[in-house]
Amino acid sequence: MPAGSDAPPLPHTWRPLGVRLAMLFFGGLLLLLCAFAWFGFDAETRARFTLLQRTTLVALALLAGSACYALVRSRVTASEAGLTVVNGYRRRDYEWAEVVAIHLPQGAPWATLDLADGTTAAVMALQGSDGNRARTAVRQLRSLIDRPG
């Protein structure tokens, strides 16, 4: 197969599917469970919670929400200029010349980029648990990396 035959039109963005669905489903389920538990308490029980305890519960909820959001916002975008990899709250921009290869070995949690300086970079947007969807994305990115010019 010639290089570039699997290449999608640019710009193109890949996002994890399984992680997004899990965060949406389980995050929503946890939110509902906590809301039903809180409103299931009688007024006397709810009144026994101090301001510090309520603040702690809200802070823990915000912390869990920010962790879920960080996982959900993971993505990789290919453009004419190069790749933009967003893992959690960290964004990295790579020119095409900097990216040597991409790998998603069997059993790996996510794909990794091999860079020209000898280092690697995680691509959490391409989760191994997404199966064929992730393998197709890796093939598409590989064809973009290997294209001439």
pLDDT in tens, 23-45: 999 999 999 999 999 999 999 99
**Domain match, 110 and 61 both:** no
Q: Measured over all CA atoms, what is the biggest interatomic distance in the chain, rounded to whole angstroms? A: 71
**Domain match, 44 and 65 both:** yes
In a domain, 4, yes or no: no
**Domain match, 83 and 67 both:** no
**Domain match, 28 and 59 both:** yes
In a domain, 129, yes or no: yes
In a domain, 64, yes or no: yes
In a domain, 1, yes or no: no
Q: Give the chain's domain count.
A: 2
Quick one: three-class SS letters along the chain? CCCCCCCCCCCEEECCCHHHHHHHHHHHHHHHHHHHHHHHCCHHHHHCCCHHHHHHHHHHHHHHHHHHHHHHCCEEEECCCEEEEEECCEEEEEEHHHEEEEECCCCCCEEEEEECCCCEEEEEEEEHHHCHHHHHHHHHHHHHHHCCC
**Domain match, 82 and 104 both:** yes
In a domain, 11, yes or no: no
Domain that holds residue 26: 18-71
CA distance linking residue 2 with residue 74, whole number of Å: 30
143: tokens are: 């064809």
**Domain match, 43 and 104 both:** no
Residues 42-100 pLDDT 10s: 999 999 999 999 999 999 999 999 999 999 999 999 999 999 999 999 999 999 999 99
**Domain match, 94 and 32 both:** no
Q: What is the model's pTM?
A: 0.83
**Domain match, 134 and 103 both:** yes
CA distance linking residue 40 with residue 23, whole number of Å: 25
Residues 125-147 pLDDT 10s: 999 999 999 999 999 999 999 98
End-to-end CA, the chain: 18
**Domain match, 141 and 92 both:** yes
Residues 95-127 pLDDT 10s: 999 999 999 999 999 999 999 999 999 999 999
Q: How far is CA 117 from the centre of its chain?
A: 25
